């Protein structure tokens, strides 16, 4: 008996990859069919992965375009705000210059009157002291 077992162990078994095991199971399939199904599943998984990558890339591209549009909009708003601020600053500087000119003119006018007024007040003080 041991000799028969040794002889069987030494003899290689012949395996036909196109035949099933014939055990009566519902999901029996041959090795060739199994490999074909595995290849089919791999190809469908690769196709799904490629579609998902394309969708992710399209989403990233769209998001980047939106970010760039927002950045351009903010840059335009900043430059418009800067121009508006410069205009206001220039208008304020012109108003200050105009007010300074008016003030200077008023001071000159007053300064022309002040010596006469000072002389008058000094005269009045002198007159009061004399009395």
pLDDT in tens, the chain (131 residues): 677 777 666 766 777 777 777 777 767 888 899 999 999 999 999 999 999 999 999 999 999 999 999 999 999 999 998 988 888 888 888 888 888 888 777 767 766 665 555 555 655 565 555 45
Instruction: For 72-103, write each residue's pLDDT tens digit.
Output: 999 999 999 898 888 888 888 888 888 888 87
Rounded to whole angstroms, the Cα distance separating 125 from 131 reads 10
- Residue 8 to residue 6: CA distance in whole angstroms: 5
| Interatomic CA distance for residues 92 and 114, integer angstroms | 32
Contacts of 19 (CB under 8 A, 6+ apart): 30
Q: What is the pTM (predicted TM-score) of this model?
A: 0.49
Q: Give the distance from CA 84 to its chain's centroid.
A: 26
């Amino acid at each position: 008996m041991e000799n028969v077992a040794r002889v069987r162990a030494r003899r290689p078994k012949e395996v036909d990859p196109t035949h099933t095991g014939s055990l009566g199971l519902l999901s029996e399939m041959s090795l060739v069919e199994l490999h074909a199904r595995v290849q089919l599943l791999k190809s469908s998984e690769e196709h799904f992965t490629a579609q998902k990558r394309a969708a992710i890339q399209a989403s990233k591209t769209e998001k980047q375009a939106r970010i760039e549009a927002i950045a351009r909009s903010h840059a335009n708003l900043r430059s418009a705000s800067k121009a508006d601020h410069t205009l206001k600053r220039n208008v304020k500087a012109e108003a200050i210059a105009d007010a300074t000119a008016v003030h200077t003119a008023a001071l000159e006018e007053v300064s022309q009157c002040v010596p006469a007024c000072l002389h008058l007040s000094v005269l009045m003080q002198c007159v009061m002291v004399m009395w």
